[in-house]
Amino acid sequence: MSQIGFPYRIARTGITQGSDPASHIRELIEQVLFTSPGERVNRPSFGSGLLNLVFSPGSNELAAATQFLVHGALQQNLGDRILIQAVEARFEEGLLTVVVRYSLRATGEVREESFARVA
């Protein structure tokens, strides 16, 4: 095990379940996106506030604001691990979908991950 898996879980052997480095980065992005600033003890600026936008009416303007918000939060919290190439946000039929394209700073590998929440 190189990293603790998210969400936290116990393996069949009774020890903490781990995740590989690439999966761990995806899990960190998920934590940044769906944590509200002020929610973490001793890390008041950690998070994006994205969940507050889920209840706003979907529009092109809100999608653009979401892209800006997510890009900034990822840069601030994970900028030392990833290089963000693009962020796309879409509101469709009550579903908020955020697609993040990034490269791992350690290896240069380019990845794209999609995250969705019901609005």
State percent of the chain over pLDDT 90: 31
Domains detected in the chain:
23-118 (3.10.450.40)
Average pLDDT for the chain: 83
The residues facing 89 across adjacent strands are 98
Q: What is the DSSP string of 12-50?
A: TTSSB-EE-HHHHHHHHHHHHHT--TT-STT-TT-S--H
- Sequence-separated (6 or more) residues with CB below 8 Å from residue 63: 89, 90, 91
**Does the pLDDT of residue 4 top 70, yes or no?**
no
**Does the pLDDT of residue 1 top 60, yes or no?**
no
> What band does 8 get if pLDDT is binned at 50, 70 and 90?
low
Quick one: tokens of 76?
A: 């601030």
Q: What are phi and psi of 84, to 5 degrees?
A: -75, 125
**Does the pLDDT of residue 106 top 60, yes or no?**
yes
pTM reported for the whole predicted model: 0.79
Distance CA 37, CA 108 (A): 29
Quick one: tokens of 103?
A: 């490269």
Q: pLDDT tens digits, residue range 62-96? A: 778 889 999 999 999 999 999 999 999 887 777 77
**Does the pLDDT of residue 33 top 60, yes or no?**
yes
**Does the pLDDT of residue 28 top 70, yes or no?**
yes
Distance CA 59, CA 92 (A): 9
More confident residue, 44 or 21: 44
